[in-house]
Amino acid sequence: MLLINLEIPEEEKFLINVLFNDKKSIKNQINLKNIDYGSIVKLASSHLVLPALYINLKKKNILNHIPEKLTIYLKKIYELNKERNKILIKEIKEISKILNDNDIDHIFLKGSSHIIGELYDDIGERMIGDIDILTENNKLINSYKIFKKLRYNKIENDFFYKENKHLSRLSSKKKIFSIEFHKRLLDKKSIYGVEPSRLLKTKLTIQKISIINFQNQFLHNIYNYQINDYGNLKSSYSYRSFYDSYLLHKKKNIEIDNIVIDNYLNNYLMIAKQLKVPIYKNINFKGNRLNRIRFNFKKSNKTFYKIDNFIIKCYRRILWVPKQIRELFINRKYRKYVINKIINSNGLA
C-alpha cells in the first residue's frame, strides 16, 4: 500500500514522546542529539502546545538536558499563560453568575470547560483564546443583549449570523477574554451526540459553574477540529486537540465503546495512528485507504501539500459565493460594507 510507512521528523517524534508518553522519565527513550530545537519550538507554537511542552519536559525530567535559553523561553511562555488562565477562571465565574442571576441555562465549552473541569494538572498548560458559551435557544439573544448592556461590544460583522454557529464575538475593554454565545457547537448542523438541547440536559456543574460533561467534551473536541477547523476537509491535525483527547480519555474515564465511529472520528483516529500518537486504546476503527494515502502524501510532499491546500481553499470560497450573492440582494448594509471594502482595498478612499 502506497506510503503507509510514514517517516516522521525527529523533532516531531520528540514532541509526541514528550506530550503523550505516560512514563515519568523518558530521557533514555528519546534522541536528544542532533535535535533542531528551533523546529520543535516552531512546531509546538503552531499547534498551541508550548506551555504543555514545558510542563511535560519538567514532569519527565528533561529540562536539564535541553538548551538553557530554550528552558527560560518556555518557562516564560508558561508563566504568562498561567497568569492569563487565572484571569480566565475569574471572568468565567463572573459570566456564570450573571447568566444564573438572569435564569439563563448555559454551559461553558472547549478550553473553558477543560479548565473548570480540572483536566490539566496545571492550569498553565492550556492556551485559550475566547470564552465559548452555549445557551438555551430561546435565551440566546437575551444573553447577548445583557452583555452588550455591560459594555461588551461586537468586534466583527454579523451579516451571516444565521449561518454561523455563534453570534458575533463580544469584547470588553475591561476584560481579557472575548465571549462567543453559541446556538450550536458545530458548523455542520446535524451531528448525533452533540445536539444543544441534549448537552444542556446532561451538563456537569462544578463549584456552581456549568460545563459540557466530559463524555461530550471528548466528542466536541474531535468534531470541533474536524468540522469547525476543517481538519477533516484538509486532512490536517492538531496536537492541542490530540492532547485534550488524550487527557480526557486517560483522566476522565470516557466511555467510548458506544461511540459511533463516523467519517470525522475515523479520519481523526487514522491520523493519530499514522503519527504514532498513542491517544486511544482498544478502539476498533476502519481507516479509509484513500484518506490515509492523501494524508501521507500531504505529510511527505510539500508540492502536493500546497496544491491540496489551494484546492481546499478555493472549494471553501466557492461554497460561500451563493450566500454572499444572496446577501448582496437582500441586505443594504452588506452592500455598503462590500462597496467600502472594494474602495479601500483599491486605495480609492
Q: Which three cell numbers stand for residue 262?
A: 463516523
Q: Which of 46-55, 276-285, 310-319 has the least mean pLDDT? A: 276-285
For 143-174, letters b (16+ CB in 10 Å) and e give bbebbeeeebeeeeeebeeeeebbbbbbbeee
Residue 255 has pLDDT above 80, yes or no: no
Q: Are residues 211 and 328 in the same domain?
A: no
The answer on 144 and 87 residing in a single domain is: yes
CA angle 214, 218, 222 (to 5 degrees): 160
Query: Are 167 and 307 part of one and the same domain?
Result: no
Count structural domains, the chain. 2
The average pLDDT across 96-100 equals 96
Nearest alpha-carbon partner for 212 in 177, 176, 184, 178: 184
Q: How confident is the model at residue 338 (pLDDT cuts 50, 70, 90)?
A: low
Q: What is the pLDDT of residue 162?
A: 59
pLDDT exceeds cutoff 70 at 288: yes
Contact 195, 91 (CB under 8 A): no
Residue 5 lies in a domain: no
Q: How many angstroms separate the first and last alpha carbons of the chain?
A: 57
Residues 173 and 292 in one domain: yes
Question: Domain check: are 224 and 322 in the same one?
Answer: no
Is the same domain home to 279 and 308? Answer: no
At 110-163, the pLDDT tens digits run: 999 999 999 999 999 999 999 999 998 889 999 999 999 998 887 666 655 555
Residues 16 and 114 in one domain: yes
Instruction: State the residue range of the domain holding 253.
Output: 10-300
Q: Where are the alpha helices (DSSP H) in 254-301?
A: 263-274, 289-300
- Residues 275, 315 within the same domain: no
- Tell the burial category of 291 from Cβ atoms under 10 Å away from its Cβ (0-12, 13-18, 19+): middle
> Domain check: are 285 and 316 in the same one?
no
In a domain, 283, yes or no: yes
**248, 316: one domain:** no
Kindly state whether residues 186 and 323 are assigned to the same domain. no
pLDDT digits (tens, 9 = 90+) for 190-209: 676 788 888 999 999 998 99
Asked if 218 and 115 sit in the same domain, the reply is yes
Residue 334: pLDDT band by 50, 70, 90 thresholds?
Answer: low
Q: What cell was used for 31?
A: 534522541
CB 168 within 8 A of CB 158: yes
